[in-house]
Structure 1
């Protein structure tokens, strides 16, 4: 058995401004976003984890730094497979303006077919994220003692972005990507998936925040 904890970065300045940040540089956490993560540490199911892997985007690097103020990790490494979706020409634009575009209907209703102009497809982003978690689970299993009790199962943390986490959760739930907008993931939240050695994964927590904040439905990233 392996536990994967999916942590969405805390509120960024782009979240606060209603802007789709994508992979733009110099998008930092707000002071409130950093505080979200400090409070999240208090409600995490594990304070000692086997490994942390994080997106290489600044807001996730900063989230990881704050997390490590309060938890112990056997290893920490950047993981490009969990980087934000490349939204291309949409990056840096206001979400309210994007929602007025005809392409927004595709994002909302048929995301598996969405190709962001000058960017990547949501399907490609989902594939790399799900593959990244699968690889992480395999690496953690290789470190596990098969005779150890369940409470000592390896725990890995993935620090990533809303759409990336939603895609991983959808795959664990057996949902097609076209249904992944049914999931909302709040900034500064954690979700947990348990992967047994045999059988299907189980989602045991979703979008848990220290202050009960929820994600906003129908939004890129699962809610600002």
Structure 2
């Protein structure tokens, strides 16, 4: 019953210029992104974070380094499986140009069938492959965190928009073809608690809210969510 906080990296110049950065090297945070991650650190400092694991890409490493400082003082680990989708020949191209490609409609309407074109410079994969590796990484690390730090432990995975959307779609029990319905903005926090019965999605795309309620005592039944809701279909 550990909880993972899925933190997207802060804003970059690629975000503002409409370029698909992918695995392009040396894409770091812009001034707004740096401010965003400082704000994220303030929100996370109220929680007993057990581990921080990041994508290897610079924008995520900078985000992870920013939030790991201060009172947290936690070393940043790197897991390549949290890296951005490998877009192959789409890497570094303008979104406005890619939107004219037939593959764009597949990415938007049937992501599970989208396979990005090969490139001599950048590796390529399908969105389904990206989803599988990311979900496997998050679930594997989550189990490790619980085993090492106990039920109720909290950890942070620093990653990318499409990767986090895929993890959330899985946690929600949705098909990958529905993942474009999910919005994950720069430096936003989404939260998932995995239990023996099912995952609970506690936050999606939260860029300003208080995170303190995520630190709760675990429920041995595996049924309860933070705040005492049982998921039994009753509400006030």
Is the contact between residue 45 and residue 72 of structure 2 (CA under 8 Å) also seen in structure 1? no
Is the contact between residue 49 and residue 73 of structure 1 (CA under 8 Å) also seen in structure 2? no
Equivalent in the alignment of 1:208: 206
Shift of 1:46: 4.3
Shift of 1:23: 0.3
Answer with 1 or 2: which has the greater Rg: 2
Deviations 1:166-213 (A, max 9, x none): 0000000000001110101001111000112x21010011101139xx
Number of equivalenced pairs: 204
More displaced 10-residue stretch of structure 1: 67-76 or 48-57? 67-76
SS of the residue 1:10 aligns to: coil
Shift of 1:40: 1.8
SS of the residue 1:61 aligns to: helix
Equivalent in the alignment of 1:220: none
Hey, which bits of structure 1, 4+ residues long, moved more than 4 A?
none
Equivalent in the alignment of 1:113: 113
More displaced 10-residue stretch of structure 1: 79-88 or 36-45? 36-45
Q: How does 1:28-177 map to 2 (within 5 A)?
A: 28-44=28-44, 46-72=46-72, 74-118=74-118, 119-145=124-150, 153-177=152-176
Is the contact between residue 47 and residue 70 of structure 1 (CA under 8 Å) also seen in structure 2? no
Is the contact between residue 68 and residue 76 of structure 2 (CA under 8 Å) also seen in structure 1? no
List gaps (5 residues or longer) in structure 2. 119-123, 210-236
Is the contact between residue 51 and residue 73 of structure 1 (CA under 8 Å) also seen in structure 2? no
TM-score, structure 2 normalization? 0.82
Provide the alpha-carbon RMSD of the alignment: 1.5
**C-alpha separation in 1, matches of 2:9 and 2:74:** 21
